[in-house]
Structure 1
């Protein structure tokens, strides 16, 4: 290790919001030439720490030093001038501009050269002519990362950057982190995925309740020792599916092994399809096909997963199910009822719960209180004298939901925008699970940005919903998550659904991986390869 000054020194950092102390006397040292991982549960203070380093929040107490020099940013421009680039959980791109127009806002003289260098060195491809608001969330995240790298930073801070990236993009990003560290600069990587910590990190700091609960060189802290620092429980207390989702299971193993599921067709006594898609087609604004005549049934009590690299139609499928996108052709049925042209409110009342991939912009109203977001669409249940809302009754009901789902918030009156990303996700999921009736739940990236304990709770609630007879459709970039949860998995590839694959069959992981690349694969026991075909 170099004897030069650390890239970043934080001492006694304290930050409060009202009665909530987000950071409490935090000390942290990031050495130059290293990747330093910051871990912790939702609400542990990780994002607040990032905002302080990035200049968008001012600490109440404590100090920072950057490469040995006192550093006291008062605005994000100060961080940029000091050579710090940030990638936050929530995107900063202007949605109505193209990717290229957003990059030109950086006012870099040699922008074309820098874009070409990032593409060549890190394998991060972008369509500069695409409008940001028409891009899948994973591609928007990629654009944010490219935007940060164009500044050639000496300290790069990444707040949960891989949650919306596919496996190959995640590999490329982690390799990018190593290259930046290898050039003598430093990276702060905030992540819940312990597999990423082991692959990319040199050291780690764990936050718990706003305080440092432990840390040090990763040569002395294997993932199994990081888990109790984060959640207060040993790693061997985690089930195989959860261990695989956070990156603790062996790479070649299947979390579904030894995890028997009830027969989805008989566990609840209902037959038929909770959700049925027939020959559904959707075209993008540029005329290309986003969904190409897909057919899919989700049975009552069945959990169906959709795997695939971002940008293969998953975003359009979720927008279609949520009612914000109407198909150009085909039919959508919910328990036999045609809801193809139904709006979001009508679908919710019919029993279709949707957890969108972009929770902040599509799943909630950030400037409204948590209670209002929990009961959107059900406010009539709290009305008095026709028009007035019984706020006390709403607060009591919201308090019970927050406790049940482990949401960390400064009460039901707190604004949604004040919650961490993971806690926002918990609120959105809790709202959709509370629909009565709940015929089908469609959830995109349901555990994105959640800590280990919250992931376990979400998995449990999804299984409980299926056991009660609800059909469940899960779209996830986490293959281990799908293998752990699902009765069958289909793969989104260029607007089609390929498969299905039984998660318990030998070689399921490898077969899904091949389908994600569009390769024909044989089923177990078959000779030779053949196309998987669209799900019928």
Structure 2
């Protein structure tokens, strides 16, 4: 290995899919011993760039060099042999196997010793006996990262790795990136979060529309200069709430809202679920057990009022995934009751819940929120195909495509048209499709969204927040599960905390010490002893 040469060089890299040019003469240099951040909007070409480096895509034009030597991978195995490890947005673990069985597929010598080293050095612990399909998304992401680190790579490429990690796990991952760089190797970190860029990065390259719009050493690129390179407008056009969500502090060129953080709640004021009217969503003494018999939800009570935005914070693995699966209808409770607008939907099938007005945006958008082999238009109107039936039998695809085209434009979804396969979209644009579909339910009594802005660029995050507030303003109850505490503090009227299958709180985001109180609850502070006391009550019931 030539340590004096850059770890990775790209020259004139170009890649097209049909008429869409995903990468357009991209030049990029990643120095050895550095963390190089790649930034850009959804559809800017970041994931395509990662796939080219990882060998799963072959460029149409241009070349690559790895530590001074020509590098032209034709398949992922070539990248692995060259010492490149990838962690993609979409997981590569075999869901029917245990974590340990997945790691043994790597066929590495001294695997137990390597696993122990990664655990001790990077603080990434795993239950090797757990089945992947039963793990929360954040734990699956941790397993993917461990899998990559086991190979002791000289170049690690991470595509949006922190979207499903909690604060402590994110800190550990960024520290891992720093250790790898300090050892003389290199890291390519694709992220939307400017706070992570500032904490871990040495240099950055910004992509817009498949082309390099700027970049350089981060010492010369403060956040207020990165934002316009990413979105084409200045940083001070962002309000403080959105800036906080993406990790950009208000003193870094961000416009304040009246000198203070924006008021939480869909219409700028706080609401509480009050009075005798049915709640948009009500859970009463709900318990759920995992397939291994352990308790995922323990006597949970939760109310979401009409027009109210309620947040659930917490480290992944504390019952949030099971709660969303319960609401979506894919998981039945062992006990308790679920009501939607006063109607008992505890045993209702997913299709019945959707028609009754419950919109669900799952945390795993690829495997649970869409059908990747189907067209974008088909995914947008899943469950509502009767709208486009002719004579009760024939499907009017032209009418469907026209309606889908309108949705793509309205929600800023970048795709090769309504006929494009869902699998061809970037992760962020897949998320936009799922959210657009659920928001279009009529009626929409309650929207339950897990990680609604995961993988979205700055502009898209603002648009999603606006749509969530708009839904609440129209009387829809909204439940948001997010690992982004800043997001919850900006959006919600009140926040509860998931901890070991219980919901603790609630906490008023307007309180000066709200962040500290939520952090304490995430660690189990003041956790109740009994299931009955774990209920999260509304102000009217407390």
**TM-score w.r.t. length of structure 2:** 0.94
Matches within 5 A, 1:452-463: 452-463=458-469
Secondary structure of the 1:463 match is helix
Q: Does 1:499 align with 2:509?
A: no
Matches within 5 A, 1:1-40: 4-40=4-40
- Match in the other structure for 2:224: 224
Secondary structure of the 2:204 match is strand
Q: CA RMSD in A?
A: 2.0
What's the offset of the Cα at 1:532?
Answer: 8.9
Secondary structure of the 1:273 match is coil
Q: Does 1:98 align with 2:104?
A: no
Residues 492 and 516 in structure 1, CA contact (< 8 A), matched pair in contact too: yes
Q: Does 1:431 align with 2:437?
A: yes
Matches within 5 A, 1:83-232: 83-232=83-232
Residues 273 and 303 in structure 2, CA contact (< 8 A), matched pair in contact too: no
Q: Does 1:534 align with 2:535?
A: yes
Matches within 5 A, 1:379-528: 379-520=385-526
For the residues of structure 2 that align with 1:290 and 1:268, how far apart are their CA atoms?
29
Secondary structure of the 1:146 match is helix
- Match in the other structure for 1:75: 75
Call closer, same or farther: CA 1:399–1:265 in 2, change over 3 Å: same
- Match in the other structure for 2:263: 259
Residues 499 and 532 in structure 1, CA contact (< 8 A), matched pair in contact too: no
Call closer, same or farther: CA 1:321–1:189 in 2, change over 3 Å: same
For the residues of structure 2 that align with 1:518 and 1:250, how far apart are their CA atoms?
30
Secondary structure of the 1:219 match is helix
- Match in the other structure for 1:527: none
Residues 292 and 496 in structure 1, CA contact (< 8 A), matched pair in contact too: yes
Secondary structure of the 1:27 match is strand
Call closer, same or farther: CA 1:505–1:272 in 2, change over 3 Å: farther
Q: Which runs of 5+ in 2 are unaligned?
A: 538-542
- Match in the other structure for 1:525: none
Shift >6 Å, 4+ stretches: 253-256, 266-270
What's the offset of the Cα at 1:287?
Answer: 1.1
What's the offset of the Cα at 1:533?
Answer: 4.6
For the residues of structure 2 that align with 1:432 and 1:324, how far apart are their CA atoms?
17
For the residues of structure 2 that align with 1:123 and 1:197, how far apart are their CA atoms?
21
Matches within 5 A, 1:248-397: 248-249=248-249, 257-259=261-263, 261=265, 262=267, 263=269, 265=271, 271-397=277-403
Q: Which runs of 5+ in 1 are unaligned?
A: 522-530
For the residues of structure 2 that align with 1:355 and 1:302, how far apart are their CA atoms?
17
For the residues of structure 2 that align with 1:233 and 1:415, how far apart are their CA atoms?
31
For the residues of structure 2 that align with 1:447 and 1:237, how far apart are their CA atoms?
19
For the residues of structure 1 that align with 2:190 and 2:519, how far apart are their CA atoms?
27
Q: Does 1:241 align with 2:245?
A: no
Which string of whole-angstrom CA distances, capped at 9 and with x for unpartnered residues, describes residues 93-113 of structure 1? 000000000000000111011
Secondary structure of the 1:398 match is helix
Moved more, 353-362 or 254-263: 254-263
What's the offset of the Cα at 1:387?
Answer: 1.1
Call closer, same or farther: CA 1:389–1:168 in 2, change over 3 Å: same
Secondary structure of the 2:220 match is coil
